[in-house]
Amino acid sequence: MKPNRFCQLALVGLLVSSSGLSLTGCSTSQTTAPSTQQAKTKETTKSHREQIKDIATSSYNGIALIQSIENAKGHGTGVFISPDTLLTNRHVVTGLAKADTAVVRTVDQQGKQVDLPIKEFIAPEDESMDIGIVKLQKPITSNKELSHLTIQKIASLDTTDKTKVSDFIRAVGYPGDKEHGTLWDSQGMIKEIDGNFLTYTAPIASGSSGSPLFNKNGDMIGIANASTDDLENPTSFGLLFDKSIRAFIAKHQ
């Protein structure tokens, strides 16, 4: 995906006002040298979304809301990668700005809402690396009511490197065009790979920023960060976990 093209996209980050204003930043460079693959055959995987109604028992229960305390509509999506660490987008944590004005919102074993206080946000200096870290004040292992939450493991570099155009892809998160706090499983196919940038058909919307991306085997290969506005003919975007992203995560996990 070319940088000037990326800057024309509608970023799908926080809902920062009642009018649904989204963040305006955009990535302008790649973290990996470009090696573009594009779909040249007719799409065979139908794009669709389905609500995950019982979050507590779902294998995706470790995917949480990163919720603004000050703005009910201000949220992004994050995924637990360790008991006290979630992965999301850089533009989510820089948009929320202050850790003490946000919480990580998840559910206990009975499906009841639990808000977890945040210790700090960590964002890379490089704006093109749209990855952010959320550190909790206490690990979820300190609360037995959260022992059911699934910590997602990042796929091996070898698995990520084998990702190709026309592969199945799944994004799981909290889209802002659906009822607030509802978790959605969005499925589609990869349309293009340019370096570590992905273009795919699984529909996402404002609030989905930071949603983990999975392949057909359930391996977490990347993270969602942008889309166009057209949910009828969706075009969504994300980042594969390349060496640079992995190094940043490993440093702060």
Active site residues: 91, 130, 209
Residues 218, 152: Cα–Cα separation, whole Å: 10
CA distance 95 to 107: 24
The sign of the torsion formed by the CA atoms of 239, 245, 248, 253 equals positive
Task: From residue 90, give the alpha-carbon distance in Å to each of 54, 56, 128, 153.
Answer: 29, 27, 9, 20
Which tokens is 15 given? 């809902």
Contact 227, 186 (CB under 8 A): no
Contact 185, 170 (CB under 8 A): yes
